[in-house]
Amino acid sequence: MLASLDLLQITQCDAVAHVRLNRPAKRNAISDGLIQQIHSAFLNLPDTVKAVVVSGAGDHFCAGLDLSELVQRDIQAAILHSRMWHAAFDAIQFGRVPVVAVLHGAVVGGGLELAASCQIRVAEDSAYFGLPEGQRGIFVGGGGSVRIPRLMGTARMTDLMLTGRVYDADEGDRYGLVQYRVPTGEGLAKGIALARKMAGNAPMSAFAVMHALPRIVEQSPGEGLFTEALMAAAASNTPEAQDRLRAFLDGRAGKVVKS
């Protein structure tokens, strides 16, 4: 059973869970408490949840690390602190179900790292993207150096970090940070619609896309092709896959058409 936490509002409608960051007075900046609650929420999703939508309360998705909690740590403690963030965002990217991030207002620093860990990103017109770590005298520590260049390229990430450049929603869309653009106020409805669609996919197929595809693109061509063959065999041999293929061949499932 899903239950809200003090820093997260969590609800469920049918097979879709909605996890909303709930620190609007801090622009949903990520504190240690919030990152721990995000991790816990994604580790403990009920079996009835087949997809998740992540959003932010108030005027912003997430303004990144809560700098008021930034303290001087020795190297070992600092590494472990980053690893805490890594574990939380890995639970999203490599979890059981696909996740849609609905982005509005600030999507900055750790907020962009959070968004990058989700499989699908929907940006409202108000969304803007930045990585101000260079101006703050710090470095990304929530997996951004791994995930964000794979979306927008190393050169563009370097530009954001060294110059403080901020992308608007159009630029975020153009440079690969998001897959969908919607008018302000329509992001949540779009995100839920996408989550409902993904919730209807065969679980093993969704698992293969989420877990195998990001790894295949990092492998050599030969290794990638073999991994693809393994996952194709695993996905197609589930009872649900057989039922779906039979339904298609019998004319009971729709064909792919341009909407």
Sheet strands (E) in the chain: 8-13, 16-21, 51-56, 99-103, 106-108, 120-124, 128-130, 166-168, 180-182
Give 75's pLDDT tier (boundaries 50, 70, 90): very high
Q: What is the pLDDT of residue 89?
A: 99
Q: What 3-state DSSP class applies to 53?
A: strand
Q: Could you list the active site residues? A: 113, 133
pTM for this entry: 0.93
Q: CATH 1.10.12.10: which residues of the chain?
A: 203-249
CB 181, CB 123: distance < 8 Å: yes
- In which region does residue 27 sit, left (phi positive, over 0), alpha (psi from -120 to 50) or beta (all else)? left
**β-pair type (166-168, 128-130):** antiparallel
Fold of the CATH domain 203-249: Lyase 2-enoyl-coa Hydratase; Chain  A, domain 2 (1.10.12)
User: pLDDT for 201-252, tens place per residue?
Assistant: 999 999 999 999 999 999 999 999 999 999 999 998 887 767 776 666 666 6
| Closest C-alpha among 101, 189, 78 to residue 147 | 101
Q: CATH 3.90.226.10: which residues of the chain?
A: 8-199
Give 164's pLDDT tier (boundaries 50, 70, 90): very high
Q: What is the CATH number of domain 8-199?
A: 3.90.226.10
User: pLDDT for 30-65, tens place per residue?
Assistant: 999 999 999 999 999 999 999 999 999 999 999 999
